[in-house]
Amino acid sequence: MLTLENVSKTYKGGKKAVNNVNLKIAKGEFICFIGPSGCGKTTTMKMINRLIEPSAGKIFIDGENIMEQDPVELRRKIGYVIQQIGLFPHMTIQQNISLVPKLLKWPEQQRKERARELLKLVDMGPEYLDRYPHELSGGQQQRIGVLRALAAEPPLILMDEPFGALDPITRDSLQEEFKKLQKTLHKTIVFVTHDMDEAIKLADRIVILKAGEIVQVGTPDDILRNPADEFVEEFIGKERLIQSSSPDVERVDQIMNTQPVTITADKTLSEAIQVMRQERVDSLLVVDDGHVLQGYVDVEIIDQCRKKANLVGEVLHEDLYTVLGGTLLRDTVRKILKRGVKYVPVVDENRRLIGIVTRASLVDIVYDSLWGEEKQLAVLS
Ligand SMILES: Nc1ncnc2c1ncn2[C@@H]1O[C@H](COP(=O)(O)OP(=O)(O)OP(=O)(O)O)[C@@H](O)[C@H]1O
Ligand SMILES: [Mg+2]
């Protein structure tokens, strides 16, 4: 789909921003470029849609040399999300999303429908169509930036740190959303980031750059398990190496406890206390008859509400952080530990409760590998 052959860029003054890069990207692949500031990520990206002309080398899209194509037409076939969102402030959301379809002369009705359909993809309603960018939150603006790149159905999309300016929680949910989107849209995506967590989460393959050159290309697992050199190792961070050193345990459902203590909403608070006492737990997950998770009650909640309420359903709290059973541990362990929660319910796609992961069991995994490493050190010394 996309091939870079001995591509270099020398800016005026003679410094090589990109040096002899070779890379083949398959159709439908999600590629992340990662590396420190100034290593040439944006430059490489902009050479692909000819916003910057290479000083040497060739770039092919579907076998065609991009230097032999009209740059404006080329750019219309490539979605582009720039580093700072880049919505036009004087245009409505509809106009912003429909920029390329309009250049491609789609009829107005079709442009409108497309904008609506795209908004729906990110759970935003048609009421946003006539608003202006400043009337949206940062996360929403960023979504629109992404939608704009998708609007004319380009097979190739370039994204330069599209989530860079977001707070961690918004960023996290946008990443999830985007990953789902990618699974249904099958686009080829080149995505620049300098956040290793983001790259690991999203990429089929990661390209690590340093001072204009490729240091390593591989799947997230390749790179986590076999970092090419010390630079990559440092970039990944020691914590990640620890997490990936237990290759047999990969998914949350492999370590969860499959028998969490539950109760239904129609039970009384005193029944709830009885169950807690019997099972020696201080918190119960509330499920319905189909085992769909509804919330939780704990000793404190019951203690506070005992006088005002009678049934579990009246006092349960719904604000629960959950994970899907198939989630990779490497994506969740740190998040769970950072949140400081004592346990996380594990659910399936229909929010049915299938297990529970406790903080203690996660800590065990992390420390198992830590100690494993220390033992090795002891043998060496
Ligand atoms: N127009 C320019 N003229 C001269 N040098 C430039 C120009 N644009 C970029 N450079 C230099 O080329 C190198 C690569 O820049 P580039 O923007 O590709 O980095 P980057 O990896 O995207 O960094 P960041 O993570 O900060 O966005 C840097 O050393 C930069 O200073
Ligand atoms: Mg950049």
> How much is the pLDDT for 338?
66
Residue 277 alpha carbon to ligand 2 centre in Å: 57
Q: Which atom of ligand 1 is nearest to the CA of 11?
A: 4
Give SS3 for 379.
helix
Q: Which atom of ligand 1 is nearest to the CA of 41?
A: 21
154 in contact with ligand 1, CB cutoff 6 A: no
CA distance 359 to 327: 16
> How much is the pLDDT for 334?
66
Through-space distance between the first and last CA atoms of the chain, rounded to whole angstroms: 50
Residue (of 160, 161, 149, 157) closest to 187 by Cα position: 157
CA distance 332 to 330: 6
38 in contact with ligand 1, CB cutoff 6 A: yes
> How much is the pLDDT for 373?
45
17 in contact with ligand 1, CB cutoff 6 A: yes
Q: Which atom of ligand 1 is nearest to the CA of 44?
A: 18
Ligand with smallest separation from the Cα of 21: 1
Ion ligand 2 nearby residues (CB, 5 A): 42
CA distance 41 to 195: 13
Residue 165 alpha carbon to ligand 2 centre in Å: 13
> How much is the pLDDT for 147?
87
> How much is the pLDDT for 151?
87
- Tens of pLDDT along the chain (381 residues)? 999 999 999 998 878 999 999 999 999 999 999 998 889 999 999 999 999 999 999 999 999 999 999 998 898 889 888 766 678 889 999 999 998 898 888 999 999 999 999 898 888 899 999 999 999 887 888 889 888 888 888 889 999 988 876 666 777 777 887 887 788 888 899 999 888 888 988 999 999 999 999 999 999 988 888 889 988 988 887 555 545 545 566 788 888 888 899 999 999 999 999 999 988 888 999 999 999 999 999 999 999 988 889 999 999 999 888 999 888 877 777 667 667 678 899 999 999 999 998 877 776 666 554 444 444 444 443
Residue 12 alpha carbon to ligand 2 centre in Å: 18
Residue 115 alpha carbon to ligand 2 centre in Å: 28
Helix, strand and coil in the chain, % to nearest 5:
45, 25, 35
Residue 173 alpha carbon to ligand 2 centre in Å: 23
Three-state secondary structure readout of 260-280: CCEECCCCEHHHHHHHHHHHC
> How much is the pLDDT for 111?
93
